[in-house]
Amino acid sequence: MTSRLSSRTHDLRPTRALLHPLWLGSLAVLVLNDHVLKGASALPSVVTGKLSDFVGLIVAPVLLAAVLRVRTRRGWLLSQVAVGAGFSAIQLSAVAAEQWSAAMAAIGFPWVITRDITDLVALPALALGYWALRGAMERPVVGAGRRTAELTAAGVGLVCCAATSRPPDGEPFPDDWRPELWTDVYVHNGGADSVVVRIRPLSETVDVDCNAVAEDPGRLLTEPLFGELQSFRLDPDQNFGLRVNSEWEEPSSSITGCHVYQLDVDGLPPAVVFWDEGSVPMHTVPGTGYEEGEARGGIELMPSEDPDRLGTFEHLGMDEVLHVVPPATAPAGGACAPQSDAARLEWSDPPVGTWDVAAVERGADGCFALDLGVRELDGEITNPRRWYMCAPLSTLGIEADRRIRVSLLTAGGFFDGISIVSEDGDPTLPQIEMWAVRGEGFPEFHGLNVAAVPEFECGHAVAESCGTVTRATAVTAGGGSFGAVQLNPGESQDLVGDEGTMTVVVAHSEERSALDSACAEGPDTLGLDLEVVALYTKPASE
Partner 1 sequence: MKRFTRTARTLAGLGLLATSLATGCFAATNDSADAAAGGFEGGDGGAGVAQGGAQDFGQFRAILDAGDLPGPETLDDVGFFNEHKIELPPADCGEDICLHGELGVMGNMINGSNCTLVMLGMNTPINPAEQPRLPLNLAIAVDTSGSMQGDSIDYLREGLFRMLDDLGPDDRISLIGFNDGSTVLVESVSGDDPDLTLAIGSLQAGGRTNIYDGLRTAYEVVEAHADPELQNRVILLSDGEATVGIQSTSRLVEMSSAYNSEGYGLSTIGMGVDFNPELMRDLAEKGAGSFYFLEDPSAVEEVFEEEVNTFLVPLAKDVEISLAVDSGYTLRAIYGTKQAETWGNVGQISIPSLQIAHRVSVEDVEGGRRGGGGAMIAELVPRDPSQVEEEGTVGTITMSWDDPGTDETRNTSVKIGTPLQPGDTPETGHFSSNGVEKSFVMLNIYAGFEMAAVRSSYGDLAGARGVLVPLAEQVDAWLVDNPDIDIEDDLSYIRKFIDNLDAHGANFEPESPNPPNPWPQD
Contact residues for partner 1 (CB under 8 A)? 38-39, 49, 52-53, 56, 109-114, 119, 163-167, 172-179, 181, 194, 196, 198, 200, 226-235, 238, 240, 245-247, 287, 307-308, 340-344, 346-349, 361, 363-367, 369, 385-386, 388, 390, 521
Q: Nearest approach, Cβ of 253 to partner 1 (angstroms)?
A: 16
Q: Which is nearer to partner 1, 211 or 340 (CB)?
A: 340
Q: Which is nearer to partner 1, 302 or 485 (CB)?
A: 302
DSSP state of 467: -
What is the distance between the alpha carbons of residues 315 and 296, in angstroms, rounded to a whole number? 9
Q: Which is nearer to partner 1, 249 or 346 (CB)?
A: 346
Give the C-alpha distances (Å, rounded to integers) separating 300 from 263, 315, 538.
Answer: 12, 6, 69
Q: Which is nearer to partner 1, 197 or 495 (CB)?
A: 197
Q: Which is nearer to partner 1, 16 or 188 (CB)?
A: 188
Coil, helix or strand at residue 290: coil
Q: Which is nearer to partner 1, 69 or 177 (CB)?
A: 177
Q: Which is nearer to partner 1, 53 or 511 (CB)?
A: 53
Residue 109 one-letter amino acid:
F
What is the distance between the alpha carbons of residues 344 and 529, in angstroms, rounded to a whole number? 10
Residue 88 one-letter amino acid:
S
Half-sphere exposure of 123 (CA within 13 A, CB side): 15
Q: Nearest approach, Cβ of 385 to partner 1 (angstroms)?
A: 8
What is the distance between the alpha carbons of residues 176 and 247, in angstroms, rounded to a whole number? 18
- What are the backbone dihedrals phi and psi of residue 84, each rounded to the nearest 5 degrees, phi first? -60, -40
Q: Are 17 and 23 in contact (CB under 8 A)?
A: yes
Q: Which is nearer to partner 1, 101 or 354 (CB)?
A: 101
CA proximity to 279, closest of 317, 246, 312:
317
Q: Which is nearer to partner 1, 92 or 485 (CB)?
A: 92
242 burial level (CB within 10 Å; 0-12, 13-18, 19+): buried
CA proximity to 465, closest of 518, 507, 511, 508:
518
Q: Nearest approach, Cβ of 448 to partner 1 (angstroms)?
A: 26
CA proximity to 337, closest of 199, 488, 451, 174:
488
What is the distance between the alpha carbons of residues 297 and 314, in angstroms, rounded to a whole number? 11
Q: Which is nearer to partner 1, 14 or 373 (CB)?
A: 373
DSSP state of 108: T
Element (H, E) at 134: helix 124-137
Q: Nearest approach, Cβ of 490 to partner 1 (angstroms)?
A: 13
Beta strands in 195-257 (DSSP E): 195-201, 206-208, 230-234, 239-241
Q: Nearest approach, Cβ of 384 to partner 1 (angstroms)?
A: 10
β-pairing verdict for 381-390 and 367-375:
antiparallel
Q: Nearest approach, Cβ of 497 to partner 1 (angstroms)?
A: 32
Residue 508 one-letter amino acid:
H
Q: Which is nearer to partner 1, 251 or 427 (CB)?
A: 251
**Contacts of 385-390 spanning 24+ positions with Cβ under 8 A:** 385/351, 387/347, 387/348, 387/349, 387/350, 387/351, 388/346, 388/347, 388/348, 389/347, 389/348, 389/418, 389/420, 389/436, 390/344, 390/345, 390/346, 390/347, 390/365, 390/366
Q: Nearest approach, Cβ of 346 to partner 1 (angstroms)?
A: 5
Q: Nearest approach, Cβ of 213 to partner 1 (angstroms)?
A: 20
Q: Nearest approach, Cβ of 284 to partner 1 (angstroms)?
A: 12
Q: Nearest approach, Cβ of 217 to partner 1 (angstroms)?
A: 19
Q: Nearest approach, Cβ of 231 to partner 1 (angstroms)?
A: 4
What is the distance between the alpha carbons of residues 138 and 11, in angstroms, rounded to a whole number? 6
β-pairing verdict for 298-302 and 186-189:
parallel
If DSSP states are collapsed to H, E and C, what string results for 310-374?
CCEEEEECCCCCEEECCCCCCCCCHHHCCCCCCCCCEECCCCCEEEEEEEEEECCCCEEEEEEEE
Q: Nearest approach, Cβ of 181 to partner 1 (angstroms)?
A: 7
Q: Which is nearer to partner 1, 198 or 446 (CB)?
A: 198
Q: Nearest approach, Cβ of 377 to partner 1 (angstroms)?
A: 27
Q: Which is nearer to partner 1, 56 or 500 (CB)?
A: 56
Q: Nearest approach, Cβ of 161 to partner 1 (angstroms)?
A: 11
What is the distance between the alpha carbons of residues 344 and 530, in angstroms, rounded to a whole number? 9
What is the distance between the alpha carbons of residues 308 and 324, in angstroms, rounded to a whole number? 19
Q: Which is nearer to partner 1, 34 or 209 (CB)?
A: 34
